[in-house]
Amino acid sequence: MKTQILEPSQENIRLASNALKNGQIVGIPTETVYGLAGNALDPEALAKIFDAKKRPTFDPLIVHISTDFDLGSLVDFSQLSAQAIENLQKLTQAFWPGPLTLVLPKKQLIPDLATSGLKSVAIRMPRHPVAQALLKEVGLPLAAPSANRFGRISPTSASHVMDELKGKIQYIIDAGSCEIGVESTVVELKLDGAVHLLRPGGVSQGEIEKLLGLTLKVGSPLKTASPGMLENHYAPLRPLFLLETHALEASFDKALGALETPPNRLGVLLFSGSAHKTQDLLSQKLGLPVTARCLSPSGDLLEAAKNLFAYLRELDDCGADILTAEPCPVSDGIGFAISDRLKKAATK
């Protein structure tokens, strides 16, 4: 199959929408990362998503809806307590459309394949105008995991999707780089009103806690409840080690120990500062070529999140046989999501 990149014109949105209605799968932009979309109500389309991504079917998908979609057609509100309904209303009013995914009790209509047999379904209302235009045109809920092969770095541009899924899908809609750069926050609303954070992301834990006036339980008692929680995810092909740059020289031997032969080039991901200066300094000190990328020269967290996956990908492809990354210095807000992705991308 030839994969075509489409500009997001009205005509192309119609083309992609028709393909989706016919059970095909399409790469689409969202404000977080690019998704691989298919009709959430069609098990055959869902099977194509799992197949193209080589994703294990125990990993459930997120169902995306348009701003005018009736949530009640997918979610069984009757199971939710009054407290849970109140929390749901507050969360959707504050953060939808946007980078917040809510796990809610599902109705029968949603195929088991979408939820991996769970009784709950993850729902997200993206705010990206192209995603919304497509959702409205197609008039269906769209299941869309990130458009990467399972376990690999999530795509934040159409060309990343091409690298990941070329030949496996017909269309990718290109709307440039994603505004946020890390995936949505996944929150589970328990029937009794408790709220669990399953994956940190575009909406911070603090914002949610402030809005609801409660403390989120982090993680889930079920090990497989959110494979975004799996230890190894978002991974480059080269071994990646998390190292403070000032400790890099000293710790480098340890990292080298993981390689069978000495490296030809080192790739370094900095959180802030000058990529050029660090690149020169390190290659002098270590006596080997270094390629460095800096997530945000001024240390701005939002800029860092936006660049994270693209720079990991560039370093993975720069000819280096080993990568290091500075840990994110901030552990709250979007910093929690960046730290989470870096830890999971790192070699264990």
**Residues interacting with Mg ion, by CB under 5 A?**
146
- Which position among 42, 179, 183, 316 is part of the footprint of ligand TXA (CB under 6 A)? 183
Q: How far apart are CA 20 and CA 316, in angstroms?
A: 32
- Which position among 12, 17, 24, 32 is part of the footprint of ligand TXA (CB under 6 A)? 32
Asked if 61 touches ligand TXA (CB under 6 A), the answer is: yes
Shortest distance (Å) from residue 44 CB to ligand TXA = 18
- Which position among 8, 27, 38, 60 is part of the footprint of ligand TXA (CB under 6 A)? 60
Q: How far apart are CA 43 and CA 23, in angstroms?
A: 9
Are the CB atoms for 53 and 227 separated by under 8 Å? no
Asked if 228 touches ligand TXA (CB under 6 A), the answer is: yes
Task: Fill in the amino acid letter for 61.
Answer: L
- Return phi, psi of residue 244, to 5°: -65, 140
CB atoms within 10 A of CB 331: 12
Shortest distance (Å) from residue 78 CB to ligand TXA = 18
* Of 304, 272, 2, nearest in space to 156 by CA: 304
> Is the bond preceding 329 in cis, omega lying within 30 degrees of 0?
no
Residue 184 contact among ligand TXA, Mg ion, none, beta carbon within 5 to 8 Å by kind: ligand TXA
Q: Smaller CB distance to ligand TXA: residue 302 or 318?
A: 302
Q: Smaller CB distance to Mg ion: residue 87 or 146?
A: 146
Asked if 20 touches ligand TXA (CB under 6 A), the answer is: no
Query: CA dist 187 to 146, 237, 265, Å?
Result: 17, 29, 40
Interface stretch with ligand TXA, choices 112-120, 244-252, 309-317, 330-338 (CB under 6 A)? 112-120
Asked if 296 touches ligand TXA (CB under 6 A), the answer is: no
Q: How far apart are CA 270 and CA 299, in angstroms?
A: 10
Shortest distance (Å) from residue 210 CB to ligand TXA = 22
CB atoms within 10 A of CB 54: 11
Task: Fill in the amino acid letter for 165.
Answer: L
Are the CB atoms for 62 and 188 separated by under 8 Å? no
Judging by DSSP bridges, how do beta strands 100-105 and 185-189 pair with one another?
A: parallel
CB atoms within 10 A of CB 51: 12
Interface stretch with ligand TXA, choices 2-10, 221-229, 258-266, 326-334 (CB under 6 A)? 221-229
- Which position among 45, 102, 113, 144 is part of the footprint of ligand TXA (CB under 6 A)? 144
Q: Which residues lie below 8 Å from residue 71, measured CB to CB, with a gap of 6+?
A: 65, 92, 123
Shortest distance (Å) from residue 288 CB to ligand TXA = 35
Distance in angstroms between the alpha carbons of the first and the last residue of the chain: 36
Shortest distance (Å) from residue 36 CB to ligand TXA = 8
Take residue 15 and report the two structure tokens written for it: 């083309």
Give the count of residues interacting with ligand TXA (CB under 6 A): 30
Q: Interhelix angle for 334-345 vs 301-316, to 10°?
A: 20
- Which position among 33, 102, 208, 342 is part of the footprint of ligand TXA (CB under 6 A)? 33
Residue 62 contact among Mg ion, ligand TXA, none, beta carbon within 5 to 8 Å by kind: ligand TXA
Cross-strand pairs, 72: none
- Which position among 16, 121, 138, 322 is part of the footprint of ligand TXA (CB under 6 A)? 121
Q: Smaller CB distance to ligand TXA: residue 118 or 288?
A: 118
Asked if 62 touches ligand TXA (CB under 6 A), the answer is: yes
Shortest distance (Å) from residue 164 CB to Mg ion = 11
By the criterion CB under 6 A, which residues form the site for ligand TXA? 30, 32-33, 35, 59-62, 99, 101, 103, 115, 118, 120-122, 124, 126, 144-146, 183-184, 186, 198-199, 225-228
